[in-house]
Amino acid sequence: MCGWPGSVRYRLVMVEGEFSTGDVGRAYLLLRSLDYDEDGEPIEDSNEYAQVLLDSKGDQEELLQGLGTLIDVFMSLFAPGGAIALTADDDEPDDEDAPPRDALNMIVPAVVQKLTQTTWLPQEAVPTMAGALTASALGRSCYQWRSHYGPWHSWEFLPWVYTALFLASLIDFSNDKPGFALDLVEQVLLEGEPA
């Protein structure tokens, strides 16, 4: 899905941790509502339904916090010692000059590039999302990080949605199982813990 670099691979084991949740259920439904084309790219028209969900009754702050929770959970899978071991195909195992294989050096640039390539998203939000992803890669809450910089702008909502979606898509692509990341979220929402 979504044409991710072939050099990112992982193996999945369960991750544990505590996250501030917000409205994760509504954030999950929002991510499930978005459509893809045959190449796995998001379809701009699916934004209409996403915007309806964003504008629907319910606390916007809770929804953004829910999206932030999903971003933090997905990023925690890539944390050192986390569920996903990152490797780069072109790195030699003993190469001292190779960049670190962590979320900050591999995942953040890949997602930021994807946001930049999705030209119908408000590009003024890309630096904010880069900062939020960096905060999350460093073990901070991306939602709390963003909250320190004042009120939310309406143009920020969709980039938060697509940042979470692109992280889920990266997990799916690396695992070669479309829908894998959101299926894990669904399982946790329905049963309280993944299998």
pTM: 0.77
Q: What is the reported pLDDT for 120?
A: 83
Grade residue 24 by pLDDT with cuts at 50, 70 and 90.
confident
Residue 9, in any domain of the structure: no
Share of the chain above pLDDT 90, in %: 28
Over residues 64-97, the pLDDT tens digits come to 899 999 999 899 887 766 555 555 555 455 566 6
pLDDT higher than 70, residue 167: yes
Residue 6, in any domain of the structure: no
Q: How many CA atoms lie within 13 A of 191 on its CB side?
A: 9
Indicate the number of domains in the chain. Answer: 1
Position with higher pLDDT, 152 vs 47: 152
Residue 132, in any domain of the structure: yes
The whole domain housing 143 covers 24-191
Residue 95, in any domain of the structure: yes
pLDDT higher than 80, residue 3: no
| Mean pLDDT (the chain, rounded) | 75
Dist. CA 83–CA 16, nearest whole Å: 9
Grade residue 6 by pLDDT with cuts at 50, 70 and 90.
very low
Say which residues have a Cβ less than 8 Å from residue 119's Cβ, sequence separation at least 6: none
Grade residue 23 by pLDDT with cuts at 50, 70 and 90.
confident
Grade residue 17 by pLDDT with cuts at 50, 70 and 90.
very low
Over residues 41-66, the pLDDT tens digits come to 666 665 666 666 666 656 788 888 99
Residue 166, in any domain of the structure: yes
